[in-house]
Amino acid sequence: MAKEKEKNKTFLLRVDADTMEAVEKWAADEFRSVNGQLQWIIAEALKKSGRKKK
């Protein structure tokens, strides 16, 4: 069987300007988009807390 495509959900995130600036710099430092950086941060936090495997 063909592997089912992952489905992404869209949501609005409001953050203060200082936080956004820090995330933008961090993303640029690691050659990621801001969206990619936020996905990575969330995935790492979920793994670290034991709420998501891998």
pTM: 0.80
pLDDT recorded at residue 7: 87
Give per-residue burial for 26-52: e unless 16+ CB within 10 Å, then b: ebeeeeeeeeebbeeeeeeeeeeeeee
At 53, the amino acid letter reads: K
What integer pLDDT is reported at residue 39 of this predicted model? Answer: 96
**Ranges of each domain in the chain:** 28-54
Mean pLDDT of the chain: 91
